[in-house]
Chains A and B, each alone.
Chain A
Amino acid sequence: EDQVTQSPEALRLQEGESSSLNCSYTVSGLRGLFWYRQDPGKGPEFLFTLYSAGEEKEKERLKATLTKKESFLHITAPKPEDSATYLCAVQAWSSGSRLTFGEGTQLTVNP
C-alpha cells in the first residue's frame, strides 16, 4: 500500500526565515511525486512534479528535491503570502493514475 507522511504538521516562520518541509513516502515503483499548495476554502494548486531521485525543481522562493525515500520542499526567505497548506502526493506504477496524499504541512509566515 502506498503511504505518504508529511512533517511537520504545522510550521510557523518569521518572514525571511528559511526552512524545509519533509515528505516521506513508501511506494512500489514511483511514477511521480507531486507538490501542491492549498489555501483555505480552495482546491489544491499545482506546484511541482518530480519523477526520479536527484531531480530538483525551483519556482520563485520554492525548491523541491527528491530522493528514493523522501522529498523536501525548501522555502527560501518566505513571505506572508506563502502561508498555506502544502500537500505532497505520490503516483505509483502499480496504482494506476490515482494520487495518494499526505495530510499536509500548514505553514504560517508572520510579517
Chain B
Amino acid sequence: GAGVSQSPSNKVTEKGKDVELRCDPISGHTALYWYRQSLGQGLEFLIYFQGNSAPDKSGLPSDRFSAERTGGSVSTLTIQRTQQEDSAVYLCASSPGRLKETQYFGPGTRLLVL
C-alpha cells in the first residue's frame, strides 16, 4: 500500500515568511509524528498526534511552530515568521497507534530559509 507522503518535497522561502508543510499518513494509522533533521544533528521530535489531538507537543522549539490534524488523517505543520535556523528537513511518520508500534517515515520536506 501507499506509504507516508509529504508535500512539498522542497521549499525555499525568505526569512520572515510563513510556511505550511503537509503530511498524509498511511491509511488507517491513528498516530502521527513530526520530526526535524538538521545538518550535523540527529532527528529531533517535534509533536505527536493521536487522532486529532496532540497529547505531546513538547518538542516544538518556539511558539512560531504549530501543527494541526483534521479528520484523523492529514496533518499540517506551520512555521510562522521563518528564521534561517528553521532550515532543515521536516519528517513526518505514522504508526497504527497500538502499543509498541513501529513508526514509518515519509520522504521529508527540505526547507531552506534565505
B108 located at the interface, meaning its Cβ lies under 8 Å from any Cβ of chain A in the complex: yes
Cα distance A62–B29 in the bound complex, in angstroms: 28
Taking each of A49, A89, A98, which has the highest tally of chain B beta carbons within 10 Å of its own beta carbon? A98
Known: A4-B42, A34-B102, A44-B105. 8 other contacts (CB 8 A): A43-B4, A43-B91, A46-B102, A46-B104, A49-B102, A96-B55, A98-B56, A103-B41
CB contact between B106 and one of A32, A43, A46, A87 (< 8 Å): that residue: A43
- The answer on a CB contact under 8 Å between B45 and A87 is no
- The answer on a CB contact under 8 Å between B41 and A98 is no
Chain A nearest CB from B34 CB (Å) reads 10
**22 residue pairs A–B, Cβ–Cβ below 8 Å:** A4-B42, A34-B103, A36-B105, A42-B107, A43-B91, A43-B105, A43-B106, A43-B107, A43-B108, A44-B91, A45-B105, A46-B104, A51-B100, A87-B42, A87-B43, A96-B55, A98-B45, A98-B56, A99-B33, A101-B44, A102-B42, A103-B41
A104 located at the interface, meaning its Cβ lies under 8 Å from any Cβ of chain B in the complex: yes
Chain B residues 33-60 with CB under 8 Å of chain A are 33, 35, 41-45, 48, 50, 55-56, 59
- B interface, CB within 8 angstroms of A: 4, 31, 33, 35, 41-45, 48, 50, 55-56, 59, 91, 95, 100-108
Taking each of A45, A46, A99, A104, which has the highest tally of chain B beta carbons within 10 Å of its own beta carbon? A99
- A interface, CB within 8 angstroms of B: 4, 31-32, 34, 36, 42-46, 49, 51, 87, 89, 96-104
Cα distance A14–B18 in the bound complex, in angstroms: 47
Cα distance A43–B26 in the bound complex, in angstroms: 14
The count of A-to-B residue pairs whose CB atoms sit within 8 angstroms is 57
- The answer on a CB contact under 8 Å between B33 and A97 is yes
Taking each of A43, A89, A102, which has the highest tally of chain B beta carbons within 10 Å of its own beta carbon? A43
Chain A nearest CB from B94 CB (Å) reads 11
Residue of B nearest to A44 (CB): B105
Q: Which residues of B are found within 8 Å of A34, using beta-carbon distances?
A: 102-103
